[in-house]
Structure 1
Amino acid sequence: MPETLAEELLLLAYDLRGKCRIGPVELDCGVGGAMLSELRLAGRLHLDGTVLAVADADPVGDPLLDGLLADVAASPRGRTPQEWVTRLRATDHQRRLLARLADHGQIAVDRHRLHRTLGVLVETRHPVRDIVGLWDAQQRVVAAVTTTAPADARTRALGALVAATGLSKPVFATSGNWRVLRDRMRAMTEDDWIAGAVRRALAAELGSVSA
């Protein structure tokens, strides 16, 4: 089973054939937001006015998350959550998370040779192998907006990122009107300032807010 929100988001983002169901910018921003959300849930980050601040500098035991926590602590100036989401796009966190999932057998790495007019290109796909982890993540998010059972903080954080990054259609489409369920999730998590930062970062990068 995936251990972090970012890993769960990656399982939701890739289909069983290994194709990503959202664009690269949405995935980059979503993974960055998921890492920030993980640290927030662990009590390590909080919002100080409009900037992201460290509430507790103790490591959480994950090398990627601990590195990010150290980066926030060492930042010479305060940055907003949106600025951190955008800044994280330039890191190799997503590649390292995918490698970790592959090492654990949760995804495969499938490289295809594509013959194009100007030469041969190699496309890398990541077919999901951890069907149980994928199913658990999807069903928790779906249940949060289709049942009366209260969702826990991790599920709400994951659902907020699903709604922010454009994953609503593939996650909700088999459970009802995906737009209605997306809007319900957004209403449930309107106080999630990291998901809000992801939406604003995407709006700045793409000129529109993800569906």
Structure 2
Amino acid sequence: MLIAEDLLLLLYDDETGKPLTGSPGLDYALAGAVVVELTLLGKVDITTEADDGKPGRLKVLDPSPTGDPLLDERLAVVVEKAGKKPKDVMGKLSKKLRDPVLQRLAERGILQAEENKVLGLFPVTRWPAKDAQHEGEIRASLENVLKLGTQPDERTGALIALLSALDVVPKVVTDAVDRKALKRRAKEIAESDWAAAAVRRAVQDMQAAITASIVVASSSAAASGSS
């Protein structure tokens, strides 16, 4: 399972099949998850000051295919946009990403597609859980880290950081008594040394890119609405 698949499971309500947060944040977070996955695979990196004094830019380490079509499509985007800041590439990385991830989860029997109509007119697809076993394991890992204080592995740490960037941790870990403490713990994890330097750079830059992209998209929408 990809980090993006695990993230999407957490961001959809098991019963209603509706997302817990809207666009573009959810889609940017998925794109961020893919970049982190590519970093874990040694395919991409985020530059530092040692790279010609231009830190915080996408860098390709190995452009060869991963064998996963979804990852390879996004790797091709990174190859094309190498040298750009992540926030400037989030739009292209996130384009037409969510539906393929949902379809993959449905093909595995984890989610199921339900066709409905809003107001009896507008078609919409919901994605409720069909087999929640894997998601339950993910949630158990999150709770061990966020509530019991255990050290996260790289995948769990990345998930927590991406959820924190979307400010949805309390919506995912719903039985926490102290929501502020939960959010504070998630932020601590996002900023701590739970992963190798390359992965940590990728996660932190993806967090910043998600936040920046949401702000830009919201500002553009507000400007369009007022014109």
Taking structure 2 as the reference length, the TM-score comes to 0.81
- Separation in 1, partners of 2:180, 2:96: 32
Q: Is 2:41 the partner of 1:69?
A: no
Q: Any conservation in 2 of the 1:164–1:199 contact (CA below 8 Å)? A: yes
- Separation in 2, partners of 1:83, 1:141: 30
SS in 2 for 1:196: helix
SS in 1 for 2:135: helix
Deviations 1:58-98 (A, max 9, x none): 322211111211221133x6211112223323x21211111
TM-aligned CA deviation for residue 123 of structure 1? 1.8
Alignment partner, residue 130 of structure 2: 129
Residue in structure 2 matching 1:86, options 88, 91, 108: 91
Residue in structure 1 matching 2:207, options 183, 187, 195: 195
TM-aligned CA deviation for residue 139 of structure 1? 1.9
* Of 61-70 and 170-179, the range deviating more from structure 2: 170-179
Alignment partner, residue 56 of structure 2: 50
Q: 1:6 is aligned with what amino acid?
A: A
Q: Any conservation in 1 of the 2:160–2:189 contact (CA below 8 Å)? A: no
Deviations 1:113-170 (A, max 9, x none): 2336xxx111211002231111112221222122232110110001101111232121
Q: 1:115 to 1:169 in 2, by over 3 A?
A: same
* Of 23-32 and 169-178, the range deviating more from structure 2: 169-178
Alignment partner, residue 13 of structure 1: 11
Q: Any conservation in 2 of the 1:107–1:129 contact (CA below 8 Å)? A: yes
User: Gapped runs of 5+ residues in structure 1?
Assistant: none
Q: 1:14 is aligned with what amino acid?
A: Y
Q: Any conservation in 2 of the 1:159–1:185 contact (CA below 8 Å)? A: yes
Alignment partner, residue 23 of structure 1: 22
SS in 1 for 2:175: helix
Cα RMSD over matched residues?
1.7
TM-aligned CA deviation for residue 14 of structure 1? 0.9
Percent of aligned positions that are identical: 28
- Separation in 2, partners of 1:206, 1:136: 34
Taking structure 1 as the reference length, the TM-score comes to 0.87
